[in-house]
Chain A
Amino acid sequence: MRTKWIAPVALAAAPAMAFCQYLIYEYAPVEQVMGIVQKVFYTHLPLAWWSLFSFFCVFIASILYLKTRNRFWDNFAAASAEVGVLLSGLALVTGMIWGRHSWGVWWTWDPRLTTTLVMWFVYAGYLILRSMSLSAERKAVVSSVVGIAAFIDVPLVFLSARLWRSIHPAVFNSKTGGLEPEMKLTVITCVICFGLVWAVLVGLRSSQMALSDRIDNLTTHDEI
C-alpha cells in the first residue's frame, strides 16, 4: 500500500483545521437565537457527513473484497469502519448538545439522529466481529457480508424513523431561509478540512493493518 501521500496531507490538514477555527469563531456571525452554542454545528455537520461517507466506503470496500479477495479492501473497510464509528459517535455527542439548546431535549426521535445512532450500533457490532479470533480470511468474509447488509439497511432505517417523527432542521433548504452566506462558506470549508483529517486517519489505519498482515504472514511462515 502506498503511504507517501499521508504525511503531506496530514501536514496540510493541521493549518486547515486551524483556519477552520478562525472561520468558526471570528468570521461566521453569532446566530441570533441560539448564540454561541450554534458554533457546534460547524463541527457536527462535517462529522456526520464524513461518518456517513466512511460507512459508504465500508460498503464499497466489502463488495470489492468479496469480488477480488484483495486484502487491501478488507483493511480499507476496517479502517473506514473504525473512523466512521469514531466520527458518528462525536456527531451524536455534538448533536445532543445542539438538540439540548435548540429543542430543549438531549435526545429526540429524529430520522437523522436515529439513523446515525442505529449506524453507530451496527458498525460498533461490526468492529466487535472484527476483533474476534477467527482466521484472517474468514473474518474478512463475514465482515464484508455484515458491511454490505449494514449499509443497504440505512435507507429503510431513515424512512422508518421519518415515518415515526421528524423535527430536524433542513440545513441547506433555501425556501425556509437556510444559512447566511458566511455561515455557508464556513461550514463548506469545515467539511473539506475534516475530509483531509478523515483521509489521513483512514490512510494511517489501513497502512497499520497492512503492516500487521505482513507481520502475521511472516510469523505464520516462520520467516523471522
Chain B
Amino acid sequence: MLKAAVSIAAKDLKLVLARGTGLIQALLLGLLLIFVFSLSQQIGEKMSAQAAAAIFWLASVFCQVLVFNTLFSLEEQNGARFGLLLSPAPVQAVWIGKALGGFVLLLCAQAVFLPATIVFLGQSVSHLWHIGLAMLIAIDLGLILLGALLGALSQGQAAKESLLSIILFPLLIPILLAGVRIGSATFSGIIPEGFGDWLGIACAFDALFGAAGLLLFGFIYSGEE
C-alpha cells in the first residue's frame, strides 16, 4: 500500500510542479495574506509574536485548501479517478498518497511563508526554533491528514475551495490554537504554560484523523459523480 501511495504522491508532485500554477496560486495567496496583515501595523510598530504566528497559520491553512483542491482536481479529467479506483492498490493508498503530496507542497509553501512572516511582520526566530519545528511538523501532519480526507469532497467539483474552507477551518481549530501558541513562543523565546499539553493535542489530532481517514476515505472517494 505504501509503495502505491508513494507512486501516487510522486505522480501528483510531478504534475503540480511541472504545471506550477497550483502551487504558485497557493503561495501567492498566503504571501498576500501576510502582506495585507502587515498593513495593520503603524510604521515602526512591531507586531506581537502571537499575532504573527496566527497570520502565519492562517496563510498556511488557506494554502492547504488550495493545495488539496489542486491535488484532487488532477484526476478529474479523462476519467483518471476511475483508473485510480480500478488499480489493485487499496483506496487508502490514494489518501496516503494525496497526504504525502500535500505535505511536501505545504512544507514548500511554509518555507516561503516563514521568511515572509519574519520580514513583513518584524519577527525573529528565537533559540526555541527546534521546538517550533517539531510542532510545525506535528501540526502540518494534522492539516494534511484532514485535508486529504475532506479534500476528496471536491471530487466531481462538488465542493469548491470556498466550501472546503468553511468545513475545514472550524475542524482545524485545535491544532491552529496549538500552532499559534507554540509559534508565538518560537518568535518570542518565551516557553508557554502547558507546552506538553499543546503537543499532546496536536498528536491526538494527528492520531484521531489518521484513523478517521483510514476508515472514512473509502466512502468519500468513489466512482460517483
Interface residues of A (CB under 8 A from B): 66, 114, 118-119, 121-122, 124-126, 128-129, 132, 134-135, 137-138, 141-142, 144-146, 148-150, 152-153, 156-157, 159-161, 163-164
Contacts and interface: CB of A to CB of B under 8 A. Distances in A.
A119 B159 CA distance: 20
Nearest to A164: B177
Interface of B: 146, 149-150, 153, 156, 158-159, 163, 166-167, 169-171, 173-174, 177-178, 181, 194, 197-198, 201, 204-205, 208-209, 212, 216, 219-220, 222, 224-225
- Residue from A114, A138, A144 whose CB has the most chain B CB atoms within 10 Å: A138
30 contacts: A118-B170, A119-B170, A125-B167, A126-B167, A128-B166, A132-B158, A132-B159, A135-B224, A138-B224, A141-B224, A142-B153, A144-B219, A145-B150, A145-B219, A145-B220, A146-B153, A148-B212, A149-B146, A149-B209, A152-B208, A156-B205, A157-B173, A157-B174, A159-B201, A160-B201, A163-B177, A163-B194, A163-B197, A163-B201, A164-B181
B170 A122 contact: yes
A141 to B, nearest CB: 5
A135 B222 CA distance: 13
A209 B163 CA distance: 23
Contacts of B197: 163
| 9 shortest interchain CB distances as A-B pairs | A156-B174, A121-B170, A160-B174, A125-B166, A125-B167, A122-B170, A160-B177, A138-B224, A145-B220
A142 B149 CA distance: 11
A148 B216 contact: yes
A153 B174 contact: yes
A135 B158 CA distance: 10
Contacts of A119: 170
A40 B28 CA distance: 48
A141 B198 CA distance: 33
B167 A156 contact: no
Contact of B219 (A66, A121, A126): A66
A17 to B, nearest CB: 32
A149 B224 CA distance: 21
Contacts of B153: 129, 142, 146
B173 A129 contact: no
Contacts of B219: 66, 141, 144-145
Given A148-B212, A156-B204, A163-B198, A125 B174 contact: no
Contacts of B174: 153, 156-157, 159-160
